[in-house]
C-alpha cells in the first residue's frame, strides 16, 4: 500500500508505470540533446551521441577527463578540446550573468564569497530575498533542499530554494552550519562535543 508506506517512512514514493517511465526518459533525452545543441552549437546527431554516452550537463562535458570524450567514436583530441572549451565558455558566461543578476538584486559579498554556493544558487537565493550570509544562516535545511510537511492531514510538498540544484538535506545542513560557524553564532568546539556525546549515547 503506497499511501501507508509513504506515511510509515515519511518519504514520497513515486510509482511510475513502464509507459510513464519510458515517456520520462524520452523527454529527458530530448531535453539534454537540446541543451547540447543550443549551448555547444552541435548538430542533433552529435548532441544525441553525447547524451547516449551518459553526459547530462555542461559541467560534465567541460571538466570530465578528456579520455572519456576520446572514447566516443569519431571524437579526436582536437574535437574533444573544442567541446570542452565551448562548454567552459558557456559556463563562465552563465556564472557571470547569474552573479550580475544577484548583485543587481542586492546580494552582498559575504554570500558571494561563501564556499559551497554556485553563482546560480546565489542568484536563486537572492530572488527569494536571501542576500547576506546572515540571511543564509537563518535558513532551515528543508527551506533550501525541500521536503514534505503535513497540513490538515495531507502531505504537502515544500519546494526548496536550492532543490532544483539537487541539493540534499545533508548538504543543506552542512552549509547552514558552516555559515553559522563563520558568523560566530556556533562554537565548533561545542558542536564537536555535542556530536561526541550523541555518538556515546548511540553506543550505550
Q: Note the pLDDT tens digit of each residue in 45-55.
A: 999 999 999 99
Mean pLDDT for 136-152 is 91
* 17-36 tens-digit pLDDT: 778 888 989 999 999 999 99
Residue-wise over 157-174: b if at least 16 C-beta within 10 A, else e? Answer: eeebbbbeeebeeebbee
Q: 91 and 76 in contact (C-beta within 8 Å)?
A: no
What integer pLDDT is reported at residue 202 of this predicted model? 58
Query: Considering the chain, what percentage of its residues have pLDDT values greater than 70?
Result: 86
List every span in the chain annotated with CATH 1.10.150.20: 1-104
Query: Considering the chain, what percentage of its residues have pLDDT values greater than 90?
Result: 72
Q: Which residues contact 7 (CB under 8 A, 6 or more apart)?
A: none
Q: Rounded to whole angstroms, how far apart are CA atoms 144 and 103? A: 20
Q: 105 and 131 in contact (C-beta within 8 Å)?
A: yes
Look up the CATH superfamily of 1-104: 5' to 3' exonuclease, C-terminal subdomain (1.10.150.20)
Residue 176 pLDDT greater than 90, yes or no: yes
Cell readout for 55 is: 553526459
Amino acid at each position: 500500500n503506497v499511501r501507508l508506506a509513504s506515511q510509515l517512512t515519511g518519504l514520497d514514493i513515486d510509482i511510475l508505470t513502464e509507459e510513464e517511465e519510458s515517456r520520462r526518459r524520452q523527454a529527458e533525452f530530448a531535453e539534454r540533446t537540446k541543451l547540447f545543441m543550443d549551448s555547444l552549437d552541435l548538430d542533433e546527431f552529435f548532441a544525441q551521441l553525447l547524451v547516449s554516452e551518459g553526459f547530462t550537463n555542461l559541467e560534465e562535458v567541460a571538466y570530465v577527463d578528456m579520455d572519456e570524450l576520446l572514447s566516443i567514436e569519431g571524437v579526436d583530441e582536437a574535437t574533444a578540446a573544442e567541446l570542452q572549451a565551448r562548454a567552459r565558455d558557456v559556463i563562465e558566461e552563465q556564472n557571470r550573468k547569474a552573479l550580475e543578476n544577484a548583485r543587481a538584486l542586492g546580494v552582498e559579498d559575504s554570500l558571494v564569497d561563501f564556499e559551497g554556493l554556485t553563482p546560480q544558487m546565489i542568484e536563486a537565493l537572492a530572488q527569494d530575498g536571501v542576500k547576506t550570509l546572515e540571511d543564509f544562516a537563518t535558513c532551515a535545511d528543508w527551506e533550501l533542499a525541500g521536503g514534505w510537511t503535513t497540513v490538515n492531514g495531507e502531505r504537502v510538498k515544500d519546494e526548496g530554494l536550492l532543490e532544483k540544484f539537487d541539493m540534499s538535506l545533508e548538504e543543506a545542513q552542512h552549509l547552514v552550519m558552516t555559515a553559522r560557524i563563520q558568523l560566530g553564532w556556533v562554537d565548533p568546539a561545542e558542536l564537536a562535543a555535542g556530536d561526541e556525546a550523541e555518538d556515546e549515547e548511540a553506543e550505550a
